[in-house]
Structure 1
């Protein structure tokens, strides 16, 4: 069964729901220190905490998204000779730079890989990189589990 890859869209602010817009404003208050806690931030923008938590990891200003340079992948890799080498070759071919790699001891014929890469020089779309990794015969699952700006 093929797992879907997250899709991202660029949407004009006035097309977002009111709760999404308020979530963005609350995040700005937290970032610039105008609010010290989530509770303070949501109160200032008249938003429920539950709505904030629902949208906080899903809506970002455009300038934030284009600064994302470091991505962490979780990959389930079959325990086969050369599988990890092939995975790293695919990543290298996109001009991504591997920052960290952690692999569990293979159990049940599968190892879990956590791979963090710097994508600041990547020469393909991230979705294409994920599709290329997923297309490997030894890969059972791949997902993005984190991302952040370089230097953070």
Structure 2
């Protein structure tokens, strides 16, 4: 399971978007404990860490510093990069998908197609998004002629 985790750099309150493939498993395990706790399936932290196989001390060490992308994003902006094939209507379908999930488009910057592909950077207000950012990106990736989708920045 690929999960993207935000890690806060405490000194200046910056966030980094890091693919979990390069992180120790402990960060994903902390996220799993949080999900189990939020689901209400367990009574307390002791039960949740036991299910995941994480020590309580490790959980407490990282719990205030490791979050999923979707945690606490209300009122925030995200800039995504979409690489599309030069086919009529592709950008329109991408924009329709963003609107379908209530992403409020703030800016769109599109490059001229070169070698039948174009880069489009879209900045969205995601405060009213009615799905996870991961699901939204997956839906955009499913659109015909969309070659690549990635998050460039988050605020």
Q: Cα distance, 1:137 vs. partner?
A: 1.3
Closer, same or farther: CA 61–5 of 1 in aligned 2, 3 Å: closer
Q: Is the 8 A contact 1:103 1:111 kept in 2?
A: yes
Give runs of aligned pairs for residues 16-95 of structure 1, distance below 5 A: 23-24=9-10, 26-27=11-12, 57-58=16-17, 66-67=72-73, 69-95=76-102
Q: Partners of 1:67 and 1:146 in 2: how far apart?
A: 13
Q: Is the 8 A contact 2:4 2:17 kept in 1?
A: no
Q: Structure 2: where are the runs of 5+ without partners? A: 19-64
Closer, same or farther: CA 58–143 of 1 in aligned 2, 3 Å: closer
Which protein has the bigger strand share? Answer: 2
Q: Structure 1: where are the runs of 5+ without partners? A: 10-19, 32-55
Q: Partners of 2:73 and 2:85 in 1: how far apart?
A: 33
Q: Is the 8 A contact 1:101 1:116 kept in 2?
A: yes
- Which of 4, 9, 18 is 1:7 aligned to? 4
Matched, 1:125 2:132: yes
* SS of match in other structure, 1:77: strand
Which protein has the bigger helix share? Answer: 1
